[in-house]
Chain A
Amino acid sequence: MTHTVLVTGVSRHIGARVASVLAADPGVGRVVGVDTVPPPSPARAGGSQAGRLEFVRVDLRSPDIAQVIAAADVDVVVHMSLIGGPSRSRSAVKEHNVIGTMHLLGACQRSTSVRRVVVRSTTAVYGSAPNDPAVFTEDGEPAEAPHSGYAKDAGDVEGYVRGFARRRPDVVTSTLRFANFMGPGVDSPLTRYFTRPVPPRVLGFDPRLQFVHEDDGVEALRRMALEDHPGTFNVAGDGVLLLSQCLRRAGRLSLPVPSPLFRLLGEVARTAGGVDFSPEQLKLMCHGRVVDCGRLTRELGWRPKFGTAAAFEDFLRSRGVSGGLTAAVADRLSDLASSRSAPPRDDL
């Protein structure tokens, strides 16, 4: 049986990649991509599979999505339109995320054709606090559930997804909680942070971070869309990097600032439209977050190809950032040392 897949959030990077990967899959007959704005480049979203991938411009905040699902006889829904973007106002973003999800799930609940729903969420739902356990599992309760921003939206969205799964137990519902995406095509507050000349960091804090490479994220979503894997799964690359390690690997000098000043800088940067440093981002920059991906590995018999460190390295390579000055100084020093020690050996 060939599937007809509906992909939301198809105009952004990961959404577009998932849509085209699915369109290229022999098990998929048709991919309907929806988003509020058209994809930036037709080549990216359509490309060679133009016949099997079609774009429909739908605002998820309206009930039109039900007609799209009914008309195309959709049987798999991949919902990826959760956004945290700084570009729009907070209330508009929240409406897009939460109300959009409610409409989509409402349409799925009515539909007789939908058999599988895959939702992209984030590990941000665990929050980030000093009294959390070091490693979150899917069943773990955060010490402080996030009460603002993107993380709260994601938590709300997951709540509606759970409600949907209860009302339609016949539909396989999978929720993927992704760590921060990293890779050549990713553009997020965190990737912008690492490409700043002198990124600030919070004085006295060195959070543990985890990344998932975009290729692995796309693969995990593809597998979830084409096979039955009900439940909630963390998705992150193996291993952990400390923020200080990331900055050193990027060859960046960082500016340690006390946390109130960091918050202020974040506000300034946000109003200037540069980077998004929301309160939850500040918390991440203080306390970090690590999740356990054992459940995903066991369920899929697959683990992300890129570990956290490899994903970060690939990101740095794609942006032409390398160890830079610090590594060069260290190399120069060892050269000096070895040349200094060489002559006596020649004498012997």
Chain B
Amino acid sequence: MTRTSDEGSPGVPGDARERSGDERLAELLAFLRRRVTGEYEVDEFGFDPELNDKVVLELLRPVYRHWFRVETSGLEHVPADSGALVVANHSGTLPVDALMMQVALHDEAHRPVRLLGADLVYQLPVLGHLARKTGHTLACPEDADRLLRGGELVGVFPEGFKGVGKPFSQRYRLQRFGRGGFAASAIRAGAPIIPCAIVGAEEIYPKIGDMPALARLLGLPYLPITPLFPWLGPLGLVPLPSKWLIEFGEPIRTDDYDPIDADDPMLVFNLTDQVRETIQGLLDTLRRRRGPAFP
């Protein structure tokens, strides 16, 4: 049925298609002009929405749709325009899950997500600045508070390197949630915490070994051995095409707390635990729903 409706439109002949071609060309040229003359805006964090949408995400979208075939659920839990903190599990040896979460929230929830990243990222030349241009910043209380106060959708992976670099045998087992700084930030801003479970990233680079001496030498937190890396060289960097599911759970409200509760370690730890258990629960259900990683 859909096909007939498609065929119905050529009643207005090639004209429409051709004009849209011209319009597209004009749009592209206008885009190029803006880029080469610098006539675009970035925010105080260095976020360049146009570059993010038109270039970076454009490169990620095929991977999102066709390689990992990402399916999302629970998008109704993501607020349309107010500040919120998305807290997700971290896995996959390389932080591909952060990129896919970014596509999911941008394209399906229509919110650019502002991720809080590790120091290491911001010390690297190209990567650090690309991260800023795509809306992300350093994981520090000042930046988290500022973004949440500004009504942004902030994303955080509290497990950090412990999560993303854990061995394959530990897959889908949440690691310690840092010091709960994210919970304190949410309390200070009164912003809801949206637990998020990502299933699929664990299988992209199954980490079956580690090269700690070499990692130390290179100043990296770990250097993985996977079934394909380093044996196949750069080819080993191609992620395995696992099936991905991303679910956003029911928001955990923090506006009942007083902002000064953020200084109460007991309360912060309890909230951190609550979020962690919620995500573990979501992960287990989602993993059962997905079934095998490579269907």
Contact = CB atoms under 8 A, between A and B. Distances in A.
Interface stretch (B28-36, B97-105, B168-176): B28-36
Interface in B1-56: 15, 18, 22, 25-26, 29-30, 32-33, 35-46, 48
| Main secondary structure on A side of the interface with B | mixed
Interface string A187-202: 0000000000000001
A202 B126 CA distance: 10
A330 B137 contact: no
A327 B36 contact: yes
A43 interface: no
B43 A140 contact: no
Interface in A123-155: 130-135, 137, 140
Contacts of A140: 142
Contacts, number: 108
Given A133-B140, A135-B142, A206-B129, A331 B33 contact: yes
Contacts of A341: 22, 25-26
Contacts of A326: 36-37
B133 to A, nearest CB: 7
B194 to A, nearest CB: 22
B30 A131 contact: no
Given A131-B119, A341-B25, A208 B42 contact: yes
Nearest to A208: B46
A242 B42 contact: yes
A134 to B, nearest CB: 5
Interface string A230-266: 0000000001111011111101000000010000000
Max chain A CB contacts within 10 Å: which of B37, B48, B123, B142? B37
B46 A240 contact: yes
Contact of B45 (A135, A244, A246): A135
A204 B29 contact: no
B243 interface: no
B122 A205 contact: no
Interface residues of A, number: 41
A337 B22 CA distance: 8
A330 B22 contact: no
Contacts of B46: 134, 206, 208, 240, 242, 288
B116 to A, nearest CB: 11
A137 B44 CA distance: 13
B293 to A, nearest CB: 36
A327 B33 contact: yes
A203 B43 contact: no
Nearest to B41: A239
A333 interface: yes
B125 A204 contact: yes
Contacts of A204: 125-126, 129
Given A245-B40, A248-B38, A327-B37, A205 B129 contact: yes
A344 B17 CA distance: 13
Interface string A210-246: 0000000000000000000000000000011110111
Contacts of B40: 245
A249 B38 contact: yes
A182 to B, nearest CB: 15
24 contacts: A130-B122, A131-B123, A131-B140, A132-B138, A133-B138, A133-B142, A134-B45, A134-B46, A134-B146, A140-B142, A205-B128, A206-B46, A206-B133, A208-B46, A208-B132, A245-B38, A247-B38, A323-B37, A327-B36, A329-B36, A331-B33, A337-B25, A337-B26, A338-B26
Given A133-B140, A208-B42, 17 more contacts: A130-B128, A131-B138, A133-B143, A137-B142, A140-B142, A202-B125, A205-B128, A239-B44, A242-B48, A245-B38, A248-B38, A288-B46, A330-B29, A333-B33, A334-B29, A337-B22, A337-B26
Interface of A: 130-135, 137, 140, 202-206, 208, 239-242, 244-249, 251, 259, 288, 290, 323, 326-327, 329-331, 333-334, 337-338, 341, 344, 348
7 cross-chain pairs, A with B, having the tightest CB-CB distances, nearest first: A204-B125, A248-B38, A133-B142, A330-B33, A341-B22, A249-B38, A245-B38
